[in-house]
Structure 1
Amino acid sequence: MKAVFIDRDGTIGGSDQVEYPGEFELFPHVRDSIDQLKKSGLLICSFTNQPGISRGEATKEDFEVELKGFGFDSVYLCPHQHNEGCNCRKPSIGMLEQAAKENGLNLKECVVIGDRWTDMMAAQKVGCKKVLVKTGAGEASFSKYQSNEYYGEWAEVSLDYVASDFIEAADWVKASL
């Protein structure tokens, strides 16, 4: 089975800042694009860092209910802070590995869609296709990529597609099936 891993904040809605469930709004037509991806036979997974959970600002369940309400089949989220040293916080690959194990996925047949370079780095490490959207933090990430501002492992990422928004990214994924 193939899957699409989709970042939340800045990719499907909100902004480049965290907005908690109840405040978060999808960008126009995102729900339709998620539904179309599902109709293509793809597993649709959320793939998101949410450190506010460990600070008590929201619960994992709040995010799961919200994201499943948007049409996601599975929710993979990291509740940890930057400095907690977990293996799930992007650019680490723990969420992708967990999803692969739980769903029998070959990650080389999967796609990651996100607006941050950490999304692309995690995808690169496991061999997923990488689609950067220019919404949220995506425009700044793409600008740094174009001007060769990334160094070390950050510079090792090669993008498969750059989309203006999630709708364009979803269209590219469907056309690539």
Structure 2
Amino acid sequence: MEENKIQAVFIDRDGTIGGTDEILYPGSFELFTYTDEALNRLKKEGIKLFGFTNQPGISRGEATEESFRNEMIDFGFDAVYICPHQHTEGCNCRKPNPGMLFKAAEENKLDLTRCIVIGDRWSDIVAGYNAGCMKVLVLTGAGNEAVNKYKHKWSNTEVDYIARDFEDAVNYIVNFVSDIEEDRAIR
């Protein structure tokens, strides 16, 4: 495998690829109009796509983990990592904890420093930071709130890129990959 190649992108669900900053259960969740094309652009680059999402409604019996997983696989994700716990349960998988990222790395033999997290909440950014990933914040969903209201919770973390939306985030990643390949060709 190429030394500097991006291996995978971890993508949050609600507010990042569709919906709003509120949780919409499978069947009522709709992708943004540009999401399908953006996901396909990443796949064409040979980058694995992993969903990672907090879904506390599962532990309340409001939806099933299987329904969320099936929906996201249907969207084109290679695998999906879901935290079904409430924030009060103290698990290591609920973002901002990096448990889902560590599990994916172990299962897929990933170097997390060669992975990118895309999300709309400070908890996505902190999870990416805690796992050593690059971090892209989208301003859709809760993104504006993450920048304006919760940035102090990011502690010393910094976002690598603030994107207008998921399509802009993918453009950034594709350009980043192109820059790596161009740099490699010059050497």
Q: State if a TM-score over 0.5 links the two structures.
A: yes
Residue 36, structure 1, aligned to residue 37, structure 2 = no
Q: TM-score, normalised by structure 1?
A: 0.94
Residue 102, structure 1, aligned to residue 107, structure 2 = yes
Residue 160, structure 1, aligned to residue 160, structure 2 = yes
Shift of 1:38: 0.8
Equivalent residue for 1:20, pick from 12, 15, 25:
25
Q: Determine the C-alpha separation between the residues in 2 that align with 1:27 and 1:142.
A: 21
Q: TM-score, normalised by structure 2?
A: 0.89
Equivalent residue for 1:133, pick from 112, 132, 138:
138
1:175 aligned partner: 175
Q: Determine the C-alpha separation between the residues in 2 that align with 1:38 and 1:88.
A: 26
2:147 aligned partner: 142
Alignment of 1:54-69 (within 5 A): 54-69=59-74
User: Which deviations, in whole Å up to 9, do the C-alpha atoms of 1:50-85 show, x marking residues without a partner?
Assistant: 000011100011001100111100000100001011
RMSD: 1.1
Structure label with greater radius of gyration:
2
Unaligned runs of 5+ in 2: 1-5, 178-187
Shift of 1:13: 0.5
Q: Determine the C-alpha separation between the residues in 2 that align with 1:26 and 1:66.
A: 11
Unaligned runs of 5+ in 1: none
Tell me the amino acid that sits aligned with residue 150 of structure 1: H
Tell me the amino acid that sits aligned with residue 97 of structure 1: F
What secondary structure does 2:149 align onto?
A: helix
Corresponding pairs, count: 172
Structure 1 stretches of 4+ with a deviation exceeding 2 A read: none
Q: Determine the C-alpha separation between the residues in 2 that align with 1:169 and 1:6.
A: 11
Identity %: 56
Shift of 1:143: 1.8
What secondary structure does 1:156 align onto?
A: coil
Q: Determine the C-alpha separation between the residues in 1 that align with 2:59 and 2:91.
A: 12
User: Which deviations, in whole Å up to 9, do the C-alpha atoms of 1:67-114 show, x marking residues without a partner?
Assistant: 011110000010000101111000001100000001110000000000
What secondary structure does 1:136 align onto?
A: coil
Shift of 1:2: 0.5
